[in-house]
Amino acid sequence: MNSEIRVLEPKNLWNKFADLNAVPRPSKKEERVIAFMKDFGESLGLAVEIDKVGNVLIRKPATSGMEDRKIVVMQSHLDMVHQKNADTDFDFDTQGIEMYVDGDWVRANGTTLGADNGLGVATIMAILESTDIIHPAIEALFTIDEETGMTGAMGLEGGWLQGDILLNLDTEEDDEIGVGCAGGIDVTAKRNYKEELVTDGKLAYTISIRGLNGGHSGMDIHKGLGNANKIMNRLLFDGFENFGLQINEVRGGSLRNAIPRESFAKIVVDMVQAEAFEFEIGELIKIIQAELSVVDPNLTIEISTTDLPVKVMELGVQEGFLKALYAAHNGVYNMSASIPDLVETSNNIAKITIKDGSIVIECLTRSSVESSKQDLVNKLRATFELVGCEVTVGGDYPGWAPNMNSSILTVLDELYQKLNGEKAHVAACHAGLECGILGQNYPDMDMISFGPTILGAHSPDERASISSVQKYWKFVREILENIPKK
């Protein structure tokens, strides 16, 4: 299946992407891809170093005539988001990504593609391997665990890099030059509950939500996409309020940085209420599907009878949970007052697990303004603590403040216009990039972010534009050839 990828142009980049995608590389399990990158660098006779957290650095000298140019750090992250459709049989820990060509797009078979940030990694690999591309001295920095905590960037120590300019290859629109990003923080609410025995005269159902687009919880949060956890809670709340529904278990979402696409619940109601319950929930399902018909036309919500469970959540805790989750903020919280159309602050209710006496709610809160981020964290904490949850925060990372006087921004801005006959969109983004963290230990490094067009990142609908990669590859080569002198 991946053979058709290897004949795409530019072949050197797509072949490196295919090689990389053959290596399983889940976040926090990067041992194999770290070894892969080490072997790759050493096979080229280049100096390879690995720091104490697992970041890989490969140094390549300047080509002839470029020795007087500033040293460039080319940076991408090795890990990828692992999402798959519920009916896809795939093991991310052992299998390579199965890719195919669909018109102008490269896609994966029922899973995330890994173009985020695999195309950036493959770009750097192609530059390192090249013998005919003009470039200054390069420090190729491959960080780990960007997607679930940015621990690679956080663990990178000052003094290791000598570069003057950092090219972060993790932006996902080919007409955009990134100059800033949001910071983020994980919010987790937990509590235990007593279980009650299911009494006689009950009927059990499963509720399954599938087919939502999902997507990147930063870049796509403003699109009004359906959140499977909020949709499920709406159904459960209605069933509880009107028919005394009781919860046995709920499983929704999988990763903090992905808008949840699927949710599954097992519930019970009184047999005498069953017919009315089925009618009511059927009508509510139609309403929800109509509300989301434009942005999530493939949403399916199914309800079916199942075996009766032994236990359910105690009603007092259940009522508090359903009300708290209804009240908990999801989506855009504030828009930026200084940058038009930029989301400033948001929250993604990413994952909910209710089973065997335990509730766990996992969120990712993002903001480009630290005080606004903390305000939303406090709002979430207050909401969940009011119903007896223990709320913890972690994984806090800073945003990247825009520098509109950046010299490398001037270079990219002029080159883009020269190559494409129009100006690039210079912007900050609501995603988390590693530039802000790296800048803490390298405050004088001039940083910029760009990349090819990737849609549907963090979902099985992730796809990379072939024509955009060709456009981007030409841009990369021009940038390296035009790096300023020291």
Catalytic residue list contains 481? no
Of 79, 139, 173, 344, which residue is the catalytic one?
A: 79
Of 116, 146, 362, 462, which residue is the catalytic one?
A: 146
Q: How many CB atoms lie within 10 A of CB 213?
A: 20
Q: What are phi and psi of 332, to 5 degrees?
A: -70, 130
Let me know: does 355 contact 236? Beta carbons within 8 Å.
no
Q: How many CB atoms lie within 10 A of CB 320?
A: 18
CA triple 159-164-166, angle to 5 deg: 95
What's the full length of the chain, in residues? 486
CB contact set of 274 (below 8 Å; sequence gap of 6+): 203
- In whole angstroms, give the CA distance from residue 24 to residue 95: 6
CB contact set of 351 (below 8 Å; sequence gap of 6+): 229, 252, 253, 254, 255, 256, 260, 360, 361, 362
On the question of a cis peptide bond just before residue 117, with omega within 30 degrees of 0, the verdict is: yes
- In whole angstroms, give the CA distance from residue 227 to residue 254: 12
**How many CA within 13 A on the CB side of residue 316?**
5
Which tokens in the block code for residue 119?
A: 């195309």
Helix (H) or strand (E) holding 11: helix 11-21
Let me know: does 84 contact 460? Beta carbons within 8 Å.
yes
Q: What are phi and psi of 90, to 5 degrees?
A: -155, 140
Residues paired with 216 in a beta bridge: 258
Cα–Cα nearest to 134, from 43, 220, 67: 67
Catalytic residue list contains 146? yes
Residues paired with 100 in a beta bridge: 107
- Please report the beta strands in 377-445, taking only residues with DSSP state E, as ranges in sequence order: 390-397, 425-429
- In whole angstroms, give the CA distance from residue 450 to residue 172: 7
- In whole angstroms, give the CA distance from residue 117 to residue 33: 13
Q: How many CB atoms lie within 10 A of CB 386?
A: 12
- In whole angstroms, give the CA distance from residue 334 to residue 112: 29
The region that residue 201 occupies, defined by phi over 0 for left and psi between -120 and 50 for alpha, beta otherwise, is left
Let me know: does 457 contact 106? Beta carbons within 8 Å.
no
Which tokens in the block code for residue 133?
A: 């591309």
3-state SS assignment for residue 461 = coil
Which positions are annotated as active-site residues?
79, 146
